[in-house]
Amino acid sequence: MSESTGRRLRAGLVGLGAMGRNHARVLAGLDGVDFVGVVDPLGDVNGAAHGAPVVGTVAELLEIGVDYAVVACPTALHEEVGLALAEAGAGALVEKPLAHTVKAAERLVEAFETRGLVAGVGHIERFNPALQSLRARLASGELGDVYQVVTRRQGPFPHRIADVGVVKDLATHDIDLTSWVTGSDYTSVSARTVSKSGREHEDMVAVVGQLEDGTMVSHLVNWLSPLKERTTVVTGERGCFVADTLTADLTFFANGVISTEWEALRAFRGVSEGDMVRYALAKREPLLVEHELFRDAMLGKDADIVTLRQGLRTVEVSSAVIEAAQTGETVRLTEGAGVRS
């Protein structure tokens, strides 16, 4: 880790796949950071290394010398790469999910924590302007009591994903952001999955769960739709917020207070339509914000990064979702463990 906030950090990257190429772009222009090397056994086939040397192994990257590295290789390799970085005393920003199993995630947490190293997880949705505004508004009580969080995340199958299914690749976004925006942990999940694309892993999941504050949650996630959708709807006593993370828009639909003279509607003691407000938000790139905060954490500054323990919890909940789908039973989540009902 850098000993002084005046010193430039030396950053590396492991993996030049679709997400790795975006990380390379941001690292190459990140203030206070020198992008010094990339690991990819296939080399720089897309010309995305921005002049940084490309080597074949993590050991070679460590020989170049890095303060930290971004881990953007396949999920099944996160543990091996992360442990090597920790052993060398380097920090790590690990792409989500933290690891492919709970045990692997636990070993990563232990490796970095016991050495006092800075490490985080790339749950990029936390840095989306719409969700950041939503979280702040929920925290300030603008919605009153929160009743339900519903997310929809669907689109075509990404051929780059081969080692995990839609639960651990995509649904981990929704699991993490739901706990983060509400400030409440999962206590139970039930789920159904289907596999229609000819792969061994699931490509569609429907999840119903509950948070510790009683909030209902529902996640619909799939790789089977030509419609690309990234929507989070939070409903509460004063109305509902709709966050579209594709466009980074946040809209509020207020409960109405205007009375109606229509007798059939007056007899219904529910809510009515009120004002609709779409908020004007500063729309900085979430990946850049994520990198800036991790850089600041590496420099010892107070930065709100996604910790490894938070990443571990998301892996635990996603594993509980898969178990619930396989058994057809509700899985209750205690502190750090799933318990089948």
Tens of pLDDT, residues 15-58? 999 999 999 999 999 999 999 999 999 999 999 999 999 999 99
pLDDT at 93: 98
Q: Which CA distances in Å does 316 have to 34, 95, 101, 322, 328?
A: 35, 16, 8, 10, 18
Decide: 16 and 25 in contact? Cβ < 8 Å: no
Average pLDDT over residues 235-239: 96
Write the CATH number of the domain with boundaries 126-283+316-340: 3.30.360.10
Confidence at 105, pLDDT banded by 50, 70, 90: very high
Average pLDDT over residues 86-113: 97
Strand 54-55 relative to strand 33-39, pairing: parallel
Q: What is the DSSP letter of 96?
A: S
Q: Which range among 140-149, 198-207, 259-268 has the greatest average pLDDT? A: 140-149
Per-domain residue ranges of the chain: 9-124+287-304, 126-283+316-340
Decide: 298 and 1 in contact? Cβ < 8 Å: yes
Burial class (CB in 10 A: 0-12, 13-18, 19+), 278: exposed
Round the average pLDDT of the chain to a whole number and report it: 92
User: DSSP strand E in the chain: where?
Assistant: 9-14, 33-39, 54-55, 68-71, 91-95, 119-122, 146-154, 186-194, 204-211, 216-222, 229-236, 239-244, 249-255, 273-278, 331-334, 337-340
Q: Which of 305, 292, 303, 302 is nearest to 32 (CA)?
A: 292
pLDDT tens-digit readout, 278-334: 999 999 999 999 999 999 999 999 999 999 999 999 999 999 999 999 999 999 998
Q: What ranges in 10-142 are assigned the alpha helix state H?
A: 18-28, 58-64, 78-87, 102-114, 129-139
In the block, tokens 């699931």 appear at 202
Residue 193's SS3 state is: strand
Q: Is the pLDDT of residue 210 over 90?
A: yes
- In this structure, of 61-65, 256-260, 320-324, the range with the lowest mean pLDDT score is 256-260
Q: Is the pLDDT of residue 266 over 60?
A: no
Give the phi and the psi of residue 174 in degrees, each rounded to 5: -70, -35
Cis peptide before 97 (omega within 30 of 0): yes
pLDDT tens-digit readout, 163-204: 778 999 999 999 999 999 999 999 999 999 998 877 778 999
Decide: 219 and 151 in contact? Cβ < 8 Å: yes
Overall fold of domain 9-124+287-304: Rossmann fold (3.40.50)
Same fold, 9-124+287-304 and 126-283+316-340: no
Q: Is the pLDDT of residue 4 over 50?
A: no
pLDDT at 340: 44
Q: Is the pLDDT of residue 76 over 80?
A: yes
The HSE-up count of residue 197 (CA atoms within 13 Å, CB side) is 19
